[in-house]
Structure 1
Amino acid sequence: MASALDLIDKAISTVDKLLAASEVSSKSNSTRTAQNVVNAQQSVTSVAEQPQPSSHKYEAGGKVPPAKAVDRELFAKANLKVAKIMTVNEVPNSEKLYKLTVDVGNNEIKQVCAGLKPYLPTDQLLQLLVVVVVNLKPAKLAGELSEAMILAADTKAADGSTLVRTLAPPPGSEPGDVVMLEGDLAAQVPAKQMKSDDWKKIVESLAVKNFTATFSEKPLRTSKGQITLPSEIPDGSGIH
């Protein structure tokens, strides 16, 4: 039968083994933990070094793209002038067209067919100063010759109907006053006859802003002031 001393020695030996095993396990766990910390640090560093997406849109080189420049060369192809409406007549068998004669300055009279009949009565058009494009190719509308185009803006009214208003030259304007872009000292020499494709591109950038007619957000003006629209025509309304 084992003595009490033998039992004590076995107990001490068992405790020593358990302590040794615990120390080895602790060292192993510490090593794994340290390695995990290193791996995590390396992962964070790797992510930080990678280029991150920006909330802004930049061009190559990190520069913010410039605002759209006014295409003056394109706009200069259009010959826009102030004109006075001298006569207004209805076009037979047409619910939309008026046949007008307009004074475009220098004793020059042009005939214009304009789809303004549903929107503006005759008495509002007679003797009215408007802005016209005078170098478009003449066209036949409902059998009538149209030698120019009157510019107007349109929008939807509260009742759902379409509201149309012609562009208004500044006070003191006269037939023949040349329309140019804000900042130009003088209008550039336009093409004798503008291509329809060029005019379509110009129309895409014509709009109302702050009750002013603009091209690529640049105000249209004569030497006497800006071309405007009445307050009932809101910003963003198209001009054509």
Structure 2
Amino acid sequence: MLKLTNVSTRYGQIQILRQINLEVREGELVCLLGGNACGKTTTMKTILGLVKPFEGTVEFLAERIDGLKPAAISHRGIVPVLEGRRIFPELSIEENLFMGAYLRKDQEAILDDIQNMYTMFPVLKDRRKQDGGTLSGGEQQMLAMARALMARPKLLVMDEPSMGLAPIYVEKSFELIQRIHQEGISILLVEQNANMALSIADRAYVLQVGEIVLSGSAAELQHHPGMKKAYLNTAI
């Protein structure tokens, strides 16, 4: 579904990614793991068209997308849930959900999907007229997920969904990600929390200083002796 082949990127003269090979197959939940400043977010930005590789290709549904603008990539069905939630704080919850469906024209289906979001995220229904900026961090994360789902993504790309959340909301977020995956949506999960990510993923890649140093099934990597080394000898 998504395939990165020998992708290298740089900011100015500083090379960030080196020969990245990564793929997400239809229906999979794949996680991209690594510590701080290892290149995870740059990989996501490259997929979304925000960073252009100077080497290699990015393909989605067997078509190259590395030369496309972000809007064109979004039109093809790759939808992000960005780090820090990035909701519209002065819009209501319901208005945020409608913004997620901004590119769609099927008005009746949009209304149906909003009700589906309220079923999946009942806290949003209870506060649907409340400004998004008044929600807690965990509730904003739920709104960010729901808004992304309103675009009916073919591939959901999530950047650090656990960052800055209280432990109870981290667990809840991963439960929701797993539920979204079980609905048949393919997911690329960019995450530092290796234990939580591997507990719900099908496969995983581990980045270290811009290079893939480990890859395999989530079950294999959970017990791989190289995991701690890939995280610069910190606990995972």
TM score, norm. by length of structure 1: 0.21
Q: Which has the larger radius of gyration?
A: 1
* Larger relative contact order, structure 1 or 2 (CA cutoff 8 Å, min sep 6): 2
Structure 1 or 2: more helix by fraction:
2
The TM-score with structure 2 as length reference comes to 0.22
